[in-house]
Structure 1
Amino acid sequence: MTVTAAEPHRLKKMAYGHKTPHQARQRATIVLLAARGRSNSRIAVETRLHVDTVRTWRGRFAKGGLPALVDGKRSGRPPRFTPMQVAEAKSLACQLPAETGVPLSRWSCPELAAELTARGITGSISASTVRRWLRQDALKPWQYRSWIFIRDPNFHAKAKRVLDLYARTHEGDPLGEDEYVVSSDEKTSVQARCRCHPTLAPGRARAMRVNHEYGRGGALAYLAAYDVHRAKVFRRCEATTGIVPFMALVEQVMTQEPYASARRVF
């Protein structure tokens, strides 16, 4: 076996490198020991490998040099599914179940796997295989995002007026320093609850303790008004909603400065 002048340095890097894979380190060690005149049996003892293993890698290096120490390409397990079957599975995932006559609102990987088998697109297939195919294309048919159809024919004009106010503009003119925009809303049926026992403060090696029992105080409505440009919130709780509670919120806002003396409040 012949070792060229440049190969010992590379073999030593492979044999003693900290990041070298274990198998590559063993093969480089076999070649280095062989270059020093060791016999196959002695190399097997020193490396604790079988003599057939030493003979194999010593012979491969003698025939092909350093490139021969790398594992050859293997055919691997033949694929079970064709590219056409994968494409049909992804196409099915992009369809709504209702369009295919399946009584589901959204696809799941087990349901997709069952549907592929039922249609004869594939044979027996696991949900994990379907999940892997969809992950490669970033498809997640089981997720959804809700949205609303715009039904008002005058939506554009109404939205423009509100958005212009948020941008401090009204009918093409900029708002003055004494003009304000307040946005209000309400949240109904907020449960008013009170704990039956006091909460205990945290202590040394002890988390805060909260008793799970509570008394019901009925449902309240939470009304809030937000000054869009000054980031100020006004709020109140009422027993119910309606024009009377809303006007109480309006009075709460409009009796305070700077709104009470403002030129206009939208």
Structure 2
Amino acid sequence: MARVAVTLSCTAEVMTELERLSRSRSGEVRIAERARIVLACLQGKRNAEVASEIGVRPNTVGQWRRRFAARGIAGLRDEPRSGKPTKYGVELRDRILAQLEVPPPVGRASWDGGSLALALNVSDDAVWRVLRKEGIQLQRHRSWCVSTDP
């Protein structure tokens, strides 16, 4: 027995916002696609029709139809992902960035990942993860020697 699709309705403001989202070139593509799905559903089309028109599966159309009916435009956004929460957050990021402003330990010309990790009592990996995310490249250590050849 086939399931009956949820009937959608919305206000003029919500319709305007959906149209704006569906035409957005600067926003996320998946949000624009979801807005197009909901707009097609608001025209009274069946899930299979909308799916073939937009190029997605009918169950995808049903999912976004149900989410929009339950939560409105906010339902088109991604839900939080499952998984292990991050061990280090904004606090560690701020500590690392603040430590980079302090002069390095005695005997060092600049900070490196290991000395930052020691100073903050965290792992090297945590330090490098934050530095990569922030786009910070610490000065590479280069060895050199003076050539005595004539």
- TM-score of the two chains, using structure 1 as the length reference: 0.38
Shift of 1:122: 2.2
Shift of the alpha carbon at 1:76? 7.0
Q: Give the counterpart of 1:94 among 102, 119, 127.
A: 102
Alignment map for 1:86-125 (pairs within 5 Å)? 87=95, 91=99, 94=102, 96-98=104-106, 104-113=107-116, 116=118, 121-125=121-125
Q: 1:33 aligns with which of 40, 45, 55?
A: 40
Q: Which is further off, 1-10 or 42-51? A: 1-10
Q: Deviations over 1:43-89 (max 9, x none)?
A: 11111112221111010111122222222344776333474797489
Task: Give the one of 57, 64, 73 matched to 1:66.
Answer: 73
2:10 corresponds to which of 4, 8, 15: 4
Letter in 2 for 1:11: L
Greater CA drift, 37-46 or 88-97: 88-97
Structure 1 pair 46–70 and aligned structure 2 pair: CA distance change class (3 A) = same
1:78 aligns to what?
85
Give, as a single letter, the amino acid of the residue that structure 2 aligns with 1:80.
Answer: K
1:122-165 deviation line (CA, Å, top 9, x unaligned): 234266346469x79x9x899xxxxxxxxxxxxxxxxxxxxxxx
Number of residue-to-residue matches in the alignment: 131
Q: Which amino acid aligns with 1:105?
A: R
Give the 3 Å change call, closer, same or farther, for CA 141–5 of structure 1 in structure 2. closer
Please give the alpha-carbon distance, in whole angstroms, between the structure 2 residues aligned to 1:25 and 1:92. Answer: 41
Please state whether the residue corresponding to 1:65 is helix, strand or coil: helix
* TM norm structure 2: 0.61
Cα distance in structure 2, aligned partners of 1:85 and 1:20: 27
Shift of 1:34: 1.1
Q: Which has the higher contact order (CA 8 A, sep 6+)?
A: 2
The alignment partner of 2:125 has SS state of coil
Change in 2 beyond 3 A, CA 1:11/1:79 = closer
Identity %: 23
Contact residue 109 and residue 128 of structure 1 kept, 8 A: no
Aligned residue identity for 1:107? S
Please say which structure displays the higher CA radius of gyration: 1
RMSD: 4.0
* 1:199 corresponds to: none
Q: Is the 8 A contact 1:112 1:127 kept in 2?
A: no
| Bigger proportion of residues as helix | 2
CA contact (8 A) 1:109 1:131 kept: no
Quick one: structure 1 residues 94 and 120, their matched pair in 2 at CA, closer, same or farther if it must change by over 3 Å? closer
**Larger strand proportion of the pair:** 1
- Structure 1 residues without counterparts, runs of 5 or longer: 99-103, 143-266
CA displacement at 1:16 relative to structure 2: 2.8
Q: Distance in 1 between matches of 2:24 and 2:104?
A: 55
Give the alignment partner of residue 52 of structure 2, picking from 45, 50, 53: 45
With over 3 angstroms needed to count, the CA separation of the structure-2 counterparts of 1:87 and 1:37, relative to structure 1, is closer
Q: 5+ unaligned residues in a row in structure 2: which ranges? A: 1-6, 141-150
CA distance in 2 between partners of 1:61 and 1:85 (Å): 36
Q: Distance in 2 between matches of 1:85 and 1:12?
A: 38
Say whether the 8 Å CA contact 2:96–2:120 is kept in structure 1: no
In structure 1, give the amino acid aligned to 2:9. Answer: V
